[in-house]
């Protein structure tokens, strides 16, 4: 790999995290991703987190595989994100390096930054899209990045990449935060909020449709069961192609995103990374290359140097809010 001395840890393996990982892998960075024991990605065809359930998962010709014994059984852990018992750190690090030699992305079930103890990385990217700060990650690697709102560049991480649709999508922010979360999904085919369906209750998610199906408005997409009874239904609010759906059997809380219906219908390929994902990936790749270029060619810089190098060439949060998320 071109940047074999500069591995990147990507926290999260959902849609945006996977879009970034896809492009970083193609650019030549060795990658290790982490996800929950039961991933909650909706656009599962383009989420490397599906490797937790299947052992390996391929997105646009790039494959991620599970590394280490922890995480192979998706039932280990719970919906709150508690990780399965950790694998032997040294053994898991060796398995990760083997995946890199195979030309694959490594994926581990790991709720924290424990991997760094056995596998130092040049950069850490928080791509979990929590929309809030989860502690200070700055200083845990030579370069720390995050996607989306709620995380402050210069405090929690070295830089944040904008994820809100609009003029600033993919912009690198080195001082301040990304645009606030609007709570509204982006507009596709003239539809915004109505294209997203949420879980009506807590329980076990039971799919009644498949990603890629063309569905009518009010079509039954899933039910949530609680104690053997149906606690609520998930129905399409508009007609279109089902481009995302939680996995059958997932333990869910009430109110999380469960399905995504694209009103553009047959024109949509749910197995392709979105334009938004590609724009965000471009921002992350640019941040990595800027940090490497400014730190000099002598190998991975010290923990302070890469962040300082990037902040010397990045930009503060612009005044415009861009478009809806």
Q: What is the mean pLDDT of residues 175-190?
A: 90
**Residue 268 in domain:** no
**Residue 72 in domain:** yes
Provide the residue range defining the domain that includes 92.
8-181+275-316
Residue 279 sits in the same domain as residue 212: no
What's the pLDDT tens digit per position in 262-291? 999 999 999 999 999 999 999 999 999 999
Residue 258 sits in the same domain as residue 294: no
Q: Which two tokens stand for residue 1?
A: 């790999």
Q: Which of 263, 287, 304 is the last residue in one of the domains?
A: 263
Give CA–CA dist 121/33, Å, rounded.
Answer: 12
What's the pLDDT tens digit per position in 124-143? 999 999 999 988 899 999 99
pTM more than 0.85 = yes
Residue 103 sits in the same domain as residue 159: yes
**Residue 40 in domain:** yes
SS3 233: strand
Phi-psi region of 227 (alpha: psi -120 to 50; beta: other; left: phi over 0): left
**Residue 73 in domain:** yes
Give CA–CA dist 62/93, Å, rounded.
Answer: 21
Q: Per-residue b/e over 132-156, b at no fewer than 16 CB within 10 Å?
A: ebeeebbebbbbbbbbbbbbbbbeb
**Residue 39 in domain:** yes
**Residue 106 in domain:** yes
Residue 212 sits in the same domain as residue 165: no
Residue 208 sits in the same domain as residue 128: no
**Residue 325 in domain:** no
**Residue 78 in domain:** yes
Q: Hey, how many other C-beta atoms are within 10 angstroms of the C-beta on 284?
A: 28
Give CA–CA dist 303/183, Å, rounded.
Answer: 35
């Amino acid at each position: 790999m071109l940047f074999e001395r500069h591995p990147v840890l990507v926290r999260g393996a959902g849609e945006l995290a996977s879009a970034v990982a896809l492009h970083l892998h193609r650019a030549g960075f060795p990658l290790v991703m982490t996800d929950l024991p039961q991933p909650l990605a909706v656009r599962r065809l383009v989420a490397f987190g599906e490797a937790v359930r299947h052992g390996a998962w391929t997105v646009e010709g790039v494959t991620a595989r599970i590394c280490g014994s922890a995480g192979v059984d998706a039932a280990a852990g719970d919906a709150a994100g508690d990780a399965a018992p950790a694998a032997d750190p040294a053994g898991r690090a060796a398995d990760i390096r083997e995946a890199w030699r195979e030309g694959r992305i490594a994926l581990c079930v790991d709720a924290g930054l424990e991997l760094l103890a056995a596998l130092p990385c040049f950069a850490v990217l928080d791509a979990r899209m929590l929309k809030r700060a989860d502690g200070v990650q700055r200083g845990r690697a030579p370069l720390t990045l995050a996607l989306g709102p709620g995380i402050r560049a210069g405090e929690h991480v070295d830089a944040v990449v904008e994820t809100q649709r609009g003029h600033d999508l993919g912009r690198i922010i080195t001082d301040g935060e990304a645009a606030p979360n609007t709570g509204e999904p982006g507009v596709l085919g003239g539809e915004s909020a109505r294209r997203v369906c949420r879980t009506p209750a807590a329980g076990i998610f039971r799919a009644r449709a498949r990603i890629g199906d063309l569905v009518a408005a009010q079509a039954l997409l899933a039910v949530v069961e609680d104690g053997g009874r149906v606690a609520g239904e998930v129905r399409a609010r508009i007609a279109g192609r089902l481009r995302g759906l939680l996995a059958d059997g997932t333990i869910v809380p009430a109110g999380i995103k469960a399905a995504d219906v694209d009103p553009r219908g047959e024109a949509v390929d749910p197995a392709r990374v979105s334009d938004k994902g590609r724009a965000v990936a471009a921002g992350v790749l640019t941040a990595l290359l800027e940090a490497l270029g400014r730190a000099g060619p002598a190998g991975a810089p010290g923990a302070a140097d890469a962040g300082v190098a990037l902040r010397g060439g990045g930009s503060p949060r612009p005044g415009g809010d861009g478009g809806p998320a």
